[in-house]
């Protein structure tokens, strides 16, 4: 099915409108039949909606994809890709560290349905290859990784999938499609939580799947349509479309602010280690420089004082807001070990394997004045 956006409005509005209709008028029963059979057009908003398609098209173009689907959340995008591309008895190789929801879904829900998984060092293509079995169908990567900012070499990852005849999927949420386009490195499926940088204003929840091939896109589209996974609100799609218009300029400011914060933290006596791929000291700096236009707005660091030191810092800021999520214009701070990667999400052993320490702090660096952000962190670090 060709889901290119069709003009619906004679007035040609500058901003594509919110089409809130759940269903669409038909000229004839035959038209309804043709639309039901997959002819381009609009029949029912659970299948496709003009505002949603318009937003999806803006992401598709930036990703360089053959097709993009929008879902109600980033986690819905991850789950949809797994449900529609894998079956019971298949095996997936997944990264550590990884978004907490992905980790939990693989261990608790998808394993219950008969899906096998193996976690490996998410920055090592060699470890991915070692974990491949006869029933492996998907290699799942995440770069930059949540919350340690490790980097996966997309070119080597794409080549591995091609060599072994396996689907490659990459969660690119921390970079966003302006900074990084995994498809040009051979990745089959790109995952985004549009809640983050794509939306950019902490006022929507959505996810996106972009596909290198039309064949995979069609497979996921038709199965997701049957299951009802494509019912993103056109109101949220409108906000996605709005966010895409400023994504580039926002990501440049996020990145420059984050670089300044990372350099500031690196020189602070109460900071033990800074995780930011834009620093030459980062172990994957050269890889990041090769595949990322900028280094993004996410920074994590380890503070002295252990878990209590981390708590004092995240509770001591005034400009950085203590909250989960990321990618909005405002700066956020959180403590992964007790907030996003808690003991209910992953075991102590999994945390150790993922290098998520009790003194690790994650920052989503926003668009505020960078000197104000530095002063805010300086004040919080004084509490340790």
Number of domains within the chain: 2
Same domain, yes or no: 169 and 317: no
| pTM score | 0.95
Distance CA 331, CA 250 (A): 13
Which residue shows structure tokens 């800074």?
A: 274
Query: Is residue 171 flagged as an active site residue?
Result: yes
**3 or 224, higher pLDDT:** 224
Q: Is-contact 206 232, C-beta < 8 A?
A: yes
What's the pLDDT at 190?
98
On whether residue 17 sits in a domain, the answer given is no
Percent of the chain exceeding pLDDT 70 equals 97
Q: What are phi and psi for residue 171, nearest 5 degrees?
A: -85, 110
Mean pLDDT of 287-303: 98
Residue of 121, 171, 236, 350 marked catalytic: 171
On whether residue 24 sits in a domain, the answer given is no
Same domain, yes or no: 167 and 280: no
Sequence-ordered alpha helix ranges (H) in the chain: 29-36, 50-63, 74-85, 100-104, 125-130, 154-164, 214-227, 234-266, 285-291, 306-314, 348-354, 370-381
Query: Is residue 99 flagged as an active site residue?
Result: yes
Q: What is the 3-state secondary structure (H, E, C) of 179-236?
A: CCCHHHHCCCEEEEECCCCCCCCCCCCCEEEEECCHHHHHHHHHHHHHHCCCCCCHHH
What's the pLDDT at 11?
74
Domain final residue pick, 207, 226, 242: 242
Query: Is residue 371 flagged as an active site residue?
Result: no
pLDDT above 90: residue 349: no
The CATH number of residue 73's host domain is: 3.40.640.10
On whether residue 351 sits in a domain, the answer given is yes
- What is the pLDDT of the chain when averaged over all its residues? 95
Select from 301, 313, 302, 197 the least CA-distant residue to 249.
197
pLDDT above 90: residue 292: yes
Distance CA 212, CA 283 (A): 29
pLDDT above 90: residue 341: no
Residue of 60, 196, 311, 351 marked catalytic: 196
Mean pLDDT of 328-352: 87
* Structure tokens belonging to residue 33: 């039949």
The CATH number of residue 286's host domain is: 3.90.1150.10
Same domain, yes or no: 35 and 107: yes
On whether residue 282 sits in a domain, the answer given is yes
Residue of 42, 99, 178, 276 marked catalytic: 99
Domain final residue pick, 206, 227, 242: 242
**Tens-digit pLDDT profile for residues 92-102:** 999 999 999 99
What's the pLDDT at 1?
44
On whether residue 16 sits in a domain, the answer given is no
Same domain, yes or no: 56 and 105: yes
On whether residue 297 sits in a domain, the answer given is yes
Same domain, yes or no: 142 and 285: no
Among the residue ranges 73-87, 130-144, 333-347, the one predicted with the least confidence is: 333-347
H/E run at residue 362: strand 360-364
Same domain, yes or no: 163 and 177: yes
Query: Is residue 46 flagged as an active site residue?
Result: yes
What's the pLDDT at 330?
98
Under DSSP, the state recorded for 176 is: -
Same domain, yes or no: 46 and 171: yes
Same domain, yes or no: 68 and 200: yes
Same domain, yes or no: 165 and 149: yes
Task: Print the domain residue range for 85.
Answer: 29-242
On whether residue 92 sits in a domain, the answer given is yes
What's the pLDDT at 142?
98
Select from 341, 290, 279 the least CA-distant residue to 146.
341
Same domain, yes or no: 143 and 121: yes
pLDDT above 80: residue 310: yes
Distance CA 138, CA 168 (A): 6
- For the packed helices 74-85 and 214-227, what is the interaxial angle rounded to 10 degrees? 110
Beta bridge partners of 302: 273, 360
On whether residue 4 sits in a domain, the answer given is no
Same domain, yes or no: 139 and 43: yes
Which residue shows structure tokens 């790109």?
A: 190
Same domain, yes or no: 297 and 228: no
What's the pLDDT at 192?
98
**Tens-digit pLDDT profile for residues 150-169:** 999 999 999 999 999 999 99
Domain final residue pick, 242, 276, 309: 242
Select from 39, 2, 19 the least CA-distant residue to 241.
19
């Amino acid at each position: 099915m060709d889901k290119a956006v069709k003009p619906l409005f004679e007035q040609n509005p500058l901003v594509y409108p919110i089409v809130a209709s759940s269903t669409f008028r038909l000229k004839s029963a035959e038209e309804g039949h043709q639309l039901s059979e997959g002819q381009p057009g609009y029949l029912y908003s659970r299948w496709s909606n003009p505002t949603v398609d318009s937003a999806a098209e803006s992401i598709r173009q930036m990703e360089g994809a053959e097709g993009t689907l929008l879902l109600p959340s980033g986690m819905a995008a991850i789950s949809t890709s797994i449900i529609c591309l894998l079956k019971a008895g298949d095996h997936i190789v997944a990264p550590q560290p990884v978004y907490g929801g992905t980790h939990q879904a693989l261990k608790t829900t998808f394993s219950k349905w008969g899906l096998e998984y193996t976690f490996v060092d998410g920055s090592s293509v060699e470890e991915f290859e070692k974990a491949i079995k006869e029933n492996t169908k998907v290699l799942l990567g995440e770069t930059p990784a949540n919350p340690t900012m490790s980097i996966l070499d997309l070119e080597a990852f794409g080549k591995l999938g091609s060599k072994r005849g396996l689907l490659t999927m990459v969660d690119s949420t921390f970079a966003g499609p302006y900074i990084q386009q995994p498809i040009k490195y051979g990745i089959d499926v790109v995952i985004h939580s549009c809640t983050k940088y794509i939306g950019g204003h902490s006022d929507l929840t959505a996810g996106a799947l972009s596909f290198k091939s039309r064949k995979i896109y069609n497979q996921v589209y038709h199965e997701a349509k049957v299951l009802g996974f494509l019912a993103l609100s056109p109101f949220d799609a409108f906000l996605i479309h709005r966010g895409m218009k400023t994504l580039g300029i926002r990501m440049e400011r996020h990145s420059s602010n984050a670089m300044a914060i990372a350099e500031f933290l690196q020189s602070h006596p109460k900071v033990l280690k800074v995780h930011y791929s834009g620093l030459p000291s980062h172990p994957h700096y050269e890889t990041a420089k090769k595949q990322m236009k900028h280094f993004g707005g996410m920074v994590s660091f380890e503070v002295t004082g252990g878990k209590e030191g981390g708590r004092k810092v995240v509770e001591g800021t005034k400009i950085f807001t203590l909250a989960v999520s990321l990618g909005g214009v405002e700066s956020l701070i959180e403590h992964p070990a007790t907030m996003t990667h808690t003991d209910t999400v992953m075991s102590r052993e999994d945390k150790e394997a993922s290098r998520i320490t009790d003194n690790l702090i994650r920052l989503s660096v926003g668009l505020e004045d960078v000197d104000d952000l530095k002063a805010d962190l300086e004040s919080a670090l004084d509490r340790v």
